[in-house]
A and B are shown apart, each in its own frame.
Chain A
Amino acid sequence: MRVTINGKSEQVPAGTIEQLVRQRGLKPEALVVEHNQRIVRQAQWAQVRLQEGDILELLRFVGGG
């Protein structure tokens, strides 16, 4: 199915946010996930199943002044 991740339309296998994070090899502790304009806390990642057309923002803290 297709979802939008960080502004790009991507083909992903069906599954939860947690599975997506793992597949992409991202470090969970540094990651902030916004799912359809709502922040999903890490504890909930395993419960949120992705749907066709979902919009995901995967963010992290970086250096800045």
Chain B
Amino acid sequence: MNDEVLIIGGRTFSNRLFTGTGKFADNRLIAGMLASSGSQMITVALRRVDLSAGGDNILDHIPKTVTLLPNTSGARTAGEAVRIARIAREAGCGDFIKIEVITDTKYLMPDNYETLQATEILAKEGFVVLPYVLPDLPLAKRLENAGAAAVMPLGAPIGSNRGLETASLIALLVENCHVPVVVDAGIGRPSHAAAAMEMGADAVLVNTAIATAQDPVAMGRAFSLAVAAGRMAFLAHMAETSALARASSPLTGFLNAVENECHSTRP
């Protein structure tokens, strides 16, 4: 089965599972998870240093071959997201940025409006922008026009593990977007990830479900296999389930009527 590699921001990804560094019981598990899953892109966040504690460096657990995707978590406005993105780039984290602007602390829904504004600014500054959004087709097209390198619609609220609750809306993005669609947030099980890939998503981003599993290293592998299986199923064109409609009254019977009634190329 031939698959095209996924290209985002000029980098190629043969593995379509993207992962995150949040919520691990021990950051040393991250390296093991990356090795077992083969994930080639991982998110990190930027925070103020706790001046009283030492703390370890999360970047030490991420091999140089893995693309870092800093997020703008904590930002509540486009301006804040822009600032965090610039800091992350200056810090030597590369050009990739996941825009995450959340103004709603109850459901943690991304603010699409602020996210679009931040995307417009950062794409002009040469960032590889991956905006995290509610799946909204007209917005996705605007993001595309603004120069987003991908769109990352949520499947369900962050950390909820509820799966693809927004499947039919994501399907519209998959069908109409010309940049990769990466399903982010809400994916709780490998079967959810497989379903997203079967639909034609270009990749999925999974953090909580891997990090909080009893064995994150094994779960990383499980997600990676599910993503590959889903992708393969998509490429193989699954059989449809609907049956042929049975004719109640023929619509084309008239074509068999007297020949001179019809145009015919046959003599």
A and B touch in the complex (CB under 8 A): yes
Using a CB–CB cutoff of 8 Å, the interface residues on chain A facing chain B are 5-7, 24-27, 29-32, 34, 39, 41, 57-65
* Count of A-B contacts judged by CB separation below 8 Å: 95
- Taking CB atoms, residues of chain B closer than 8 Å to A7 are 48
- CA–CA, A24 and B49, complex, Å: 11
- Taking CB atoms, residues of chain B closer than 8 Å to A63 are 20-24, 27, 30, 44-45, 58, 211
Min distance, Cβ A55 to any Cβ of chain B, angstroms:
13
Interface size on B, residues (CB 8 A): 38
Min distance, Cβ A53 to any Cβ of chain B, angstroms:
19
Nearest residue, chain A, Cβ from B59? A61
Enumerate 16 A-B pairs (CB-CB under 8 Å) in ascending A order.
A26-B49, A30-B57, A32-B90, A34-B87, A39-B86, A59-B46, A59-B48, A61-B44, A61-B45, A61-B59, A62-B47, A63-B23, A63-B24, A64-B45, A65-B73, A65-B208
Nearest residue, chain A, Cβ from B208? A65
Nearest residue, chain A, Cβ from B56? A30
- Taking CB atoms, residues of chain A closer than 8 Å to B159 are 65
- Taking CB atoms, residues of chain B closer than 8 Å to A64 are 20-22, 43-45, 71, 73
- CA–CA, A7 and B185, complex, Å: 31
Which of A29, A31, A32 has the largest number of chain B CB atoms within 10 A? A32
Which of A6, A31, A57, A61 has the largest number of chain B CB atoms within 10 A? A61
CB-defined interface of B84-111 with A at 8 Å, one 1/0 digit per residue? 0011101101000000000000000000
Residues in B165-212 with C-beta less than 8 Å from chain A: 185, 205, 207-208, 211
Do residues B90 and A62 form an inter-chain contact, with CB atoms below 8 A? no
- CA–CA, A41 and B205, complex, Å: 31
Do residues B46 and A62 form an inter-chain contact, with CB atoms below 8 A? yes
